[in-house]
Copies of this chain bind each other. A is one copy, B any other.
Amino acid sequence: MGLIVQKFGGTSVGSVERIMNVAERVKDETILGNQVVVVVSAMGKSTDQLVKLAKEISPQPSKREMDMLLTTGEQVSIALLSMALNQKGLEAVSFTGWQAGIVTEPVHGNARITDVRTEAIESQLSHRKVVIVAGFQGITESGEITTLGRGGSDTTAVALAAALKADRCDIYTDVTGVYTTDPRYIKGARQLKSISYDEMLELANLGAGVLHPRAVEFAKNYQVRLEVRSSMEKIEGTIIEEEATMEQNLVVRGVAFEDQITKVTVLGLANSLTSLSTIFTTLAQHHINVDIIIQSTTEAGAANLSFSIKTEDLMETLKVLEDHKELLGYEQIDAENQLSKVSIVGSGMISNPGVAARMFEVLASNQIQVKMVSTSEIKVSAVIEEENMLKAVQALHNAFELSSVTE
């Protein structure tokens, strides 16, 4: 008999019918003799509706009160799922984040989990009950209700799996698993049987939105065996686990892509030593995520700096740079938008030199110009024009033989 943590997102509990379907999935595991802890998100669009209500009252509602407001969404889901399980003949008990012992740092809107006190859950499991936990929420040591920010329910599930030493953490989604690339756009995209935490992390960060990177990182740190599965179809998903247990014959395991990228270039920075940190500190304070950064020095000793951002942050970025022009002492700013980022990911790259070269070769042979490059041990990213994005992804997917190679 094992202990399984299951996580179901907002779409999976979006209606009474779907909640009954989730109950069926939970029952499947109990029939196999497993103990089950279920983590659920708020129903479908209910969070959006609550946000809308709040915005009608205040353009910038207090973060504490937003947490108070939004955490009701998951509380509704856990109660309804518990009723659905009872209806299917299972004994179940629902817990809010604080009842489940999810302790977080004292931050509203985006708190990190600092502790999981599992006594209450373990006591209910020992009474052979299914335990349902509200995702996305926790409590501070002083009793304040907090939320975990984006991907919060994934993080709740992984944290619980780690604390309870669960045998598996199943993340149920509206896709059937992790793919070599997005099957909606790319021919030959294929579901992976398994993938390492690091590879998943790169894919997750690159916008393959199946699993939140925070949850993957948590799983990696605590060696939680994750499985991404479909909440609708009863088929095998993708297992995310430590490298060692997997075959290594695939150098590249997936191709990720993201559009709506803008490259900002700051020309003639007077003193690059302090201006660099000033620029990025200031942008971070304005919650602007900077991705790739390239710096070059001119003959005159000034520096040119380029960095990529999401296009939606462009106006804010320009305003921040403008506001600090005197401090930064640059000459000019250029912005190039309608760009995209294409990345190949695979832990095999570490031991395979020439993978990046092969990528550039493929792009060049397709007449695609590379604007920026960024590499990690298991990833190469290239910023290219948006109009070439899908062509590039398809060419890379073909070139690295992702559709045919067996794992």
A interface vs B, CB < 8 Å? 16, 19-20, 50, 53-54, 56-58, 61-62, 64-66, 68-69, 71-73, 75-76, 78-80, 82-84, 86-87, 93-94, 96, 99, 120, 143, 145
Contacts and interface: CB of A to CB of B under 8 A. Distances in A.
Contact of A83 (B54, B72, B76, B84): B54
A92 to B, nearest CB: 8
Contacts of A16: 53, 56-57
Contacts of A73: 72
Contact of A145 (B69, B82, B96, B145): B96
B68 A84 contact: no
Given A57-B16, A57-B20, A83-B58, A93 B72 contact: no
A75 B57 CA distance: 16
A62 B86 CA distance: 8
Contacts of A84: 57-58
Contacts of A57: 16, 19-20, 80, 83-84, 87
A73 to B, nearest CB: 8
Kindly list the 7 A-B residue pairs having the minimum CB-CB distance in the complex, ordered from nearest.
Answer: A69-B79, A72-B72, A68-B79, A61-B83, A58-B83, A16-B56, A65-B79
Given A16-B56, A68-B79, 15 more contacts: A16-B53, A16-B57, A54-B83, A57-B84, A58-B84, A58-B87, A61-B83, A65-B79, A65-B80, A71-B75, A72-B73, A72-B76, A72-B79, A99-B143, A120-B143
B79 A54 contact: yes
Nearest to A144: B99
Nearest to A74: B72
A50 B20 CA distance: 16
A178 to B, nearest CB: 32
A69 B84 CA distance: 13
A20 B20 CA distance: 38
Interface hub of A16, A80, A94 (most chain B Cβ within 10 A)? A80
24 contacts: A20-B57, A50-B76, A53-B76, A53-B80, A54-B79, A57-B83, A57-B87, A58-B83, A58-B86, A58-B87, A61-B83, A61-B86, A62-B86, A64-B93, A65-B80, A65-B82, A65-B94, A66-B79, A68-B78, A68-B82, A68-B94, A72-B79, A75-B75, A99-B143
Number of copies: 2
Nearest to A70: B79
A100 to B, nearest CB: 11
Contacts of A80: 53-54, 57, 65, 69
A57 B58 CA distance: 35
A42 to B, nearest CB: 10
Contact of A65 (B54, B58, B64, B83): B83
A120 B75 CA distance: 23
A388 B388 CA distance: 84
Contacts of A71: 75
A53 B79 CA distance: 11
Contacts of A145: 96, 99
Nearest to A54: B83
A207 B311 CA distance: 62
Contacts of A20: 57
Nearest to A20: B57
